[in-house]
Amino acid sequence: MQIAVIGAGLIGQAWAIVFARGGCEVKLWDGNPAALAQAVKLIDQLAHTLQERGLLGDASTVVNRIVAASSLEQALEGVDYVQENLPEKVEIKKEIYRRMDALVGPEVILASSTSSIPASAFTQDLPGRGRCLVAHPVNPPYLIPVVELCGAPWTQADVIDRASQIMTEVGQKPVRVNHEVEGFVLNRLQGALLREAFKLVQSGCVSVEDLDVTVKEGLGLRWSFMGPFETIDLNAPEGVRDYCARYGDMYTSIGQQQTSTDAWSEETIAVIDTQRRELLAKERLLDRRVWRDERLMALMQHKKTMNESERT
């Protein structure tokens, strides 16, 4: 399969690895030639790191499937699927989709990595708008496989089906978002947890550090291999209905206290930032991000091993 990755920033680099790892031939393009050249070097480094961690077979083979295209026209020639990763600006996306729609055949899927802009906002006036959708990854997609597929009202059903199949074939976990909604699914769930986390810190109920411990040493351990519905299904003797009967009143009471939609206050942000900087100095943020990715790699390797053992 021939894939075009448009935009060579961090997400574009990650997608190039995902598709090449899945056996696709990838053409990577960016409007900034210097950024494109740098991206090729970073992809090579990252691929070999993934190989060292047991998350990639032959890094050199994967890297050799990725070529830098000198023009948008060259990048799009003969491709089956396009993953766009340009900045989160509607006008920028309108322009690149106008160009791409005119350059590729009607059967080619045009997907955007946008995390906030619905496909309807930048595809409405396109002749080929029916083959456009959002394919929103979780960063970095070569470690976290969920990708949210969300079409515009005019996106053809078979386009969603084909995009889902492509994502499955390259090792991602596609989730279908059945209609456009701000933030899609993942960010809405994350936003709900963040809103309550901010509120608990603001009220003095818990420190920033202890709230993080509650998630990473509590909820997060289960959520690394189960979703919230499976979690509650297993947390009552008779399953979901039994759980709701036992704890529904408690959650109703809590929910009535969670009605505020106020913006996060500057005062609360300052408190959280101060406590975080006491735990991690600003100059150590990059090192901690590297640490995070190493832990993600270890977790993904563990999950890969466990999944393989369950199939045998």
What pLDDT is stored for residue 290 in this prediction? 86
Break the chain into its structural domains and give their ranges: 2-177, 186-279
* Sheet-wide strand order for 25-29: 66-68, 25-29, 2-6, 81-84, 109-112, 132-137, 146-151, 173-177
pLDDT band at 260; cut points 50, 70, 90: confident
pLDDT digits (tens, 9 = 90+) for 73-88: 999 999 999 999 999 9
Task: For residue 4, give the DSSP letter.
Answer: E
pLDDT band at 216; cut points 50, 70, 90: very high
The yes-or-no verdict on residue 245 having pLDDT over 80 is yes
pLDDT band at 303; cut points 50, 70, 90: confident
Q: Which CATH class is domain 186-279?
A: mainly alpha
What pLDDT is stored for residue 66 in this prediction? 98
pLDDT band at 54; cut points 50, 70, 90: confident
The yes-or-no verdict on residue 153 having pLDDT over 90 is yes
pLDDT digits (tens, 9 = 90+) for 108-147: 999 999 998 999 999 999 999 999 999 999 989 999 999 9
Centre a 10 Å sphere on the Cβ of residue 66 and count the other Cβ atoms it contains: 23
Q: What angle do CA 63, 11, 30 make, to 5 degrees?
A: 75
The DSSP result for 98-114, as a single string, is HHHHHHS-TTSEEEE--
Cα atoms in the 13 Å half-sphere on the side-chain side of 202: 14
DSSP helix/strand/coil, 65: coil
Check: pTM over 0.75? Answer yes or no.
yes
The yes-or-no verdict on residue 297 having pLDDT over 90 is no
- Are the C-beta atoms of residues 216 and 286 closer than 8 Å to each other? no
Instruction: Return d(Cα 183, Cα 92) in angstroms, integer.
Output: 19
Q: Which of 53, 30, 35 is nearest to 301 (CA)?
A: 53
What CATH number does domain 2-177 carry, 3.40.640.10, 3.60.70.12, 3.40.50.720, 3.30.2350.10?
3.40.50.720
The yes-or-no verdict on residue 312 having pLDDT over 80 is no
What pLDDT is stored for residue 13 in this prediction? 97
Instruction: Return d(Cα 3, Cα 75) in angstroms, integer.
Output: 9
